[in-house]
């Protein structure tokens, strides 16, 4: 995992597991690369914070993204890190 913040308010986040590489520069949304080298733009990372509560969306996303649980973990970590930065 890598997380950096910059003076202009932007940040860089990288989360890597055996299943996926998930990253964002804080401006262009979330991007995920899978082991087969497919790259998918995922948009706003924070839409995944409570996706489990939106059962239809979660189901649809899980059909096209077998790494949805890894993605949710990464977004929760990013959210915690940004909250720490904001509180300082």
Distance CA 14, CA 1 (A): 5
Q: Mean pLDDT in the chain?
A: 94
Q: What pLDDT tens digit does each residue of the chain (88 aa) get? A: 999 999 888 899 999 999 999 999 988 899 999 999 999 999 999 999 999 999 999 999 999 999 999 999 999 999 999 999 887 7
Residue 21 in tokens: 């590489």
Considering only CA atoms, which of 32, 24, 21, 25 is closest in space to residue 8? 25
Distance CA 17, CA 21 (A): 6
Provide the residue ranges of all domains of the chain, joining segments of one domain with +. Answer: 2-80
Rg (CA), the chain: 13
Specify the pLDDT at position 32: 97
């Amino acid at each position: 995992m890598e997380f950096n913040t910059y003076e202009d308010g932007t940040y860089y986040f990288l989360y890597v597991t055996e299943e996926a590489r998930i990253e964002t520069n804080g401006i262009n949304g979330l991007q995920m690369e899978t082991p087969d080298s497919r790259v998918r733009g995922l948009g706003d990372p924070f839409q995944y914070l409570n996706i489990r509560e939106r059962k239809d969306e979660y189901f649809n996303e899980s059909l096209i993204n077998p790494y949805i649980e890894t993605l949710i973990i990464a977004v929760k970590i990013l959210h915690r890190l940004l909250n720490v930065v904001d509180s300082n």
